A and B are shown apart, each in its own frame.
Chain A
Amino acid sequence: MASYPRLRAVLMRVAQSVPVVVGVVVISFLLTRALPGDPAAYFAGAAADEASIEQVRVALGLDKPLIQQFFIYSADLLRGDLGRSVSSGQPVAADLAKRLPASLELTLTALLLSCGIAIPLGILAATKPGSWIDHICRLLVTAGVSLPTFFTGILLIYFFYYLLGIAPSPLGRLDFIYLDPEHVTGFYLIDAALAGDWETWSGAAKQLILPAVTLALFTLAPIARMTRAAMLTALSSDFIRTARAAGLSSGMVLFGYAFRNAMLPVVTTLGMVFSFALGANVLVEKVFAWPGIGSYAVEALVVSDYAAVQGFVLIMALLFVLLNLIIDLLYTAIDPRIGFAAK
């Protein structure tokens, strides 16, 4: 019985993301149609004459009214057709699908890493306000948001690759002496572990660690800041005073009561953090020559491969909408009050 209102809340939340997805598709459609100059002339190539440009225009459906073009575009999207990349000659969707696991592996590792550091740090800073750990937290938070990701990455390469020589050369996911692990999930760490090939696993981990740390440093700041603020609010509220007065152990008060309440605003900020992380991902991939969708888009930008860039923008947006949906569902799962509140 108790799960019924919660199920409704979940369905409501899923339904809410439908107009957002429609909006995202509309904007990315407008972006593809706002190309500088005549798209038909662009896709026909430099040597095309008047007749072949017209032919391309008809073939691409660019002679039809904008609304009709939009429906054709949407229908193509539903079939998973994002157009064809001019530089690789492959369908953009296939290119992106091939490179997506690399980006996801990097981003998720970085987020796990930064949550693993930022949340304990924020809790410690909030439990001992004014202490040295609080000051370190503040410094890290302000410095963290000011550090350009690409600059952090370059500094880390300089120290750990050039000066200390302990990091492998910052070129891609796996050194050429290893063979790619058999493709199961596309995540090298998981694939290598599944194959039981620990040598490849450690090779992949070594390549991953610097870019993941770079991205983690960037996302650390907002999470630590929010954890600290949320814990301070929770610790100063009445129910904590009551819990303390009732003689509960300090660990119980801290983790059983304060932390569970403080987690809610932190989970909400994760949405914004994901937005930054997905953007910063592009820069980190460029610095470390990481073969993900970000560096694919950068290469496409350089050669004006518009279909590839717009496909990338759309996929990133859909990924972000999905992540936000997961975060909100997580929120519903950890907050027992949601679903019962009058809505």
Chain B
Amino acid sequence: MTDIPATGSPKSSGSLDHMLYVLRDNPVTLLAFILFALILLSAVFGPALVPYDPLQTDAAKALQPPSWDHWFGTDNVGRDVFSRVIAATRLDLTISIAAVALSFVAGSVLGSIAGYWGGWLDILLNRILDTIMAFPLFVLAMGIVAALGNSVENIIYATAIINVPFYARLVRAEVNIRREAGFARAAKLSGNSDVQVLALHIFPNALPPMMVQVSLNLGWAILNAAGLSFIGLGVRPPAPEWGIMVAEGANFIVSGEWWMAVFPGLWLMIAVFTFNLLGDGLRDIVDPRKRT
């Protein structure tokens, strides 16, 4: 981040003011930031803080409704649902952050190359991205996991692959419009190589819209990963994970034990909701025109 040109420093206090201004104007975004902090905290410290071992079964306490001892009740083998929901944050967040980070990097590299050099590379990349987008994305993820093998890593790769087109297109467009800009030519003339101009001068301009995309994408990646594990892909049963917990709870909903499915589902929803709100809020900060 230190690579951002020197013009960044006087501007940054201005954008901080702008950010505070937008936040004051928009308490919802503030709420999103607070929720985000809570989610991060429970991902980092959650497994250490929860009252029960998320894997500890206790047949005597199976299927108890929420009570003072077990806030979210217990599941069919007597595990504490609250502990499992909180402990699951780490796995869900890891999967989605890893997937989004992978597609961020891959999309940036591919998009920069296509946008800067153009030509047949650009055409080839666009063809490949079009083909990926021609699949219903969740279905493609299912196919990829089925082909590569059923594991958590492959869930990450599949989620990353279906997200790459969004990043690559964004970066390609941002790089392409600045390829011939004055500052890029000046950087080139003062002796920088193409790669330096691209990486240090042009690419940083694409970062603000990328951050918005990241935030919106994280919510979608969590939904996607939870959906895949809901249908039995990736995460293996004893591990606490929201999608799989909802799937386990679904078998008990028709007999009225609602807490097994509702609480993990609710947490999943809150996490996705937070990232979506955060994305909308960041967009307001980065680009006030696109406010909807």
Contact = CB atoms under 8 A, between A and B. Distances in A.
A309 B142 contact: yes
A228 B227 contact: no
Interface residues of B, number: 51
Size category of the binding interface on chain A: 35 or more
**Residue among B136, B138, B227, B249 having the largest count of chain A Cβ atoms under 10 Å:** B136
B8 interface: no
A155 B266 CA distance: 10
Given A142-B280, A229-B292, A301-B231, A151 B268 contact: yes
Contact of A23 (B131, B254, B277): B131
A119 interface: no
Nearest to A225: B292
Q: Please classify the interface of chain B as helix (H, G, I), strand (E, B), loop, or mixed, using the class held by over half of its residues.
A: helix
Contacts, number: 159
Interface stretch (A26-34, A48-56, A69-77): A26-34
A149 B265 CA distance: 10
Nearest to A280: B138
A145 B131 contact: no
Interface in A43-84: none
B250 interface: yes
B267 to A, nearest CB: 10
B146 A150 contact: no
Interface string A277-311: 01110110011000000000110011000100110
B219 interface: yes
Contacts of B136: 274-276, 278-279, 316-317, 320
B82 interface: no
**Residue among B135, B149, B277 having the largest count of chain A Cβ atoms under 10 Å:** B135
Contacts of A35: 147
17 contacts: A24-B135, A27-B131, A27-B135, A31-B147, A32-B147, A35-B147, A148-B227, A148-B268, A150-B243, A170-B254, A278-B136, A282-B139, A302-B232, A313-B135, A313-B143, A320-B135, A324-B134
Interface of A: 19-20, 23-24, 26-28, 31-32, 34-36, 142-143, 145-151, 154-155, 157-158, 161-162, 169-170, 225, 228-229, 274-276, 278-280, 282-283, 286-287, 297-298, 301-302, 306, 309-310, 312-313, 316-317, 320-321, 324
Lowest 3 CB-CB distances: which A-B pairs, in order? A279-B138, A23-B131, A151-B265
Given A23-B131, A279-B138, A306-B146, 16 more contacts: A20-B134, A23-B127, A23-B128, A24-B134, A146-B273, A148-B268, A150-B243, A150-B247, A151-B266, A155-B262, A158-B256, A282-B139, A287-B250, A301-B233, A306-B147, A317-B134
